[in-house]
Amino acid sequence: MGNADREAVTVAEKPESDEDRRFIAKYALHPIQHAARAIARMTLQDDSRLDDLCNELGDLVQIIKGADVGRSVTMLAAQAHTLEATFYHLLEKAISPYCATSEIELYLKPALKAQAQCRATMETLVSLSNPRSVAILQANIGANIQINNSNSATQNRQNVPNKLLEQCDGNGLDHTPTTQTIG
């Protein structure tokens, strides 16, 4: 057994401390770690530059946290243009004379999704460039109301005739002539 084999066995047999396991768990669950791994697999086809990607992503996250939206605007603008190009590319494939009728829907569905996402991205860009001012107006509509939930108040209450009806000598307030009902 060579020296490298002995070191591998020694490392494998060495129990991890609680601190090491916590560090590994935090690293495995960190969003920057996940994003860096996904970017590495899509662009580099492997994880060889994962540490560099994690550091660069961490720096970019700190810029965004510092309320510098310049990079975010750049990223969203590039995304909007890419989505627009995707929409037109798929649309051209769908309306191509060489496209079979059964394939048109295969191209149009993702094309329309790209168009909708482009619109949403543009709305986000507009809201970042021109933030809405929010005016909060306070409306005090309440009046002084007394609520009495005791039973004695409801038991002693009498029905007092309406004063307006008393002035009309008990006649109703509706002065329209009565008509015969149909039926």
What does the pLDDT read at residue 112?
Answer: 95
Residues 66-84: tens digit of each pLDDT = 777 777 787 788 888 888 9
Map out the domains of the chain as residue ranges: 9-67, 69-126
pTM of whole model > 0.85? no
What does the pLDDT read at residue 51?
Answer: 84
What does the pLDDT read at residue 23?
Answer: 83
> Which sign does the torsion angle of CA 143, 148, 149, 154 carry?
negative
Comparison of pLDDT for 146 and 43, the residue scoring more: 43
Comparison of pLDDT for 12 and 179, the residue scoring more: 179
3 band by pLDDT with thresholds 50, 70 and 90: very low
Residues 121-130: tens digit of each pLDDT = 999 888 887 7
Given a cut of 80, whether residue 98 has pLDDT beyond it is: yes
